[in-house]
Amino acid sequence: MATNLLQAGFALTVHNRNRQREAPLAQQGAQRAATPAAAAAAAPLLCLCLSDDNAVRQVLIEGEDSAIHGLAPGSLVIDFSTIAPATSEALASELAQRGVAYIDAPVTGGTEGAKAGTLSVLVGGAAEDLERARPLLAAVGSRISRFGAVGAGQRVKAVNQVLVAGSYAAVAEAMALGQRLGLPMQQVCAALGDGAAGSWALKHRAANMLSNNYPLGFKLELHRKDLAIALAAAAETGLQLPISEKVAAIEEALMAAGHGEEDVSALARWFMG
């Protein structure tokens, strides 16, 4: 995503908690900042893309060198992280006290979409803040959708992760069944991909499942974190999500077995034994 911003002509300053990860971007022309506060200094737009709620709070508002100490009134925070809607709402409230605007803008589309700049960006926030952010968002995503006030983007991402849970699990089950039946599974996938059973997971992850090889696209442990957000949101409405609950339990078993840092498609390990 940062590479796409550079290629689109944005002047970019970057900071990563793992400082080595800044190096490739610096080679492409980005400036490096020693702290989040330094990265935010004089930046009209600040983008975050972090692993969970605690990381976002630490980098944005709680740390000694957090970005809030560098953000100027009138600036805008664009949070690509997937976190709880209530966390986004609390962050927006605290930043507003300093005259800083905030939108939650979680993304979906996998590493493939991130590299191609074709992510779907799910936005919660004021319409005028989205318009300020739109040129930047257009460099990382091909579809930008606003769903309401701050927190709405995170709620849509929760729906997305429920769909991901079901589709990945279904593909994993189907691959396991096909192999047990002795079918030519590459041919099966090609035949089914354009039919009613076709899906992003079948197209992009079935081959990995069949080869029992799970190069990282999106960590299984992060999807489990996202499912926790979705399950909590469902519980607040009195809705039970039995499929997502089952997938969450499978992911916990795989994490306990040391597979948490593999791609979500490693769900197939549970079905294939």
Query: Any idea which residues carry the catalytic annotation?
Result: 157
User: Do residues 262 and 219 lie in contact, with contact meaning Cβ atoms separated by under 8 Å?
Assistant: yes
In 58-151, which residue ranges form alpha helices assigned H by DSSP?
Answer: 85-96, 110-116, 127-140
Q: Any idea what the Cα angle at residue 63 is, between residues 106 and 95, rounded to 5°?
A: 55
Rounded-to-integer distance, Cα 111 and Cα 264, Å: 12
- What residue type is 177 in one-letter code? L
Nearest to 218 by CA among 145, 267, 146: 267
Nearest CA to 76 out of 158, 133, 155, 9 is that of 133
Q: For residues 104 and 153, is the Cβ–Cβ distance under 8 A?
A: yes
